[in-house]
Amino acid sequence: MVLMFGGIACLALLIAIAAAAIVAAKVRSDEEVVERDERNILAAIRNVTQQLNRLERRVDTLHARSHTPDAPRGRATSGAWSRTPYPRPVRPPRNYEDEE
């Protein structure tokens, strides 16, 4: 009788150890996926930040050129946008997946 309970206890211990090893392996693989996705997202954020900085420099250059006395008259210096103290707002591209 004692031997039976000892066998059941050993079997339960082995099952618990195996389950813990399976869960640990799954968690480790999920962590690797999350870290890879995090690296990809951070790289995309750096790329977008660089593009925004480049666009801001271009807007500043155009804004400075449009306020010089010898600036050519054209789209950048005429109209309502030339009278605003801030650059024209950038509209995000249209997302065609949201259409129904």
Residue 71: count of CB within 10 angstroms of its CB: 14
Entry field: residues in the chain = 100
Q: Is residue 86 over pLDDT 70?
A: no
Task: Give me the pLDDT at residue 65, please.
Answer: 81
Q: Is residue 14 over pLDDT 60?
A: yes
Q: Is residue 100 over pLDDT 50?
A: no
- Grade residue 96 by pLDDT with cuts at 50, 70 and 90: low
Task: Give me the pLDDT at residue 78, please.
Answer: 52
pTM over 0.75: no
Q: Are 27 and 20 in contact (CB under 8 A)?
A: no
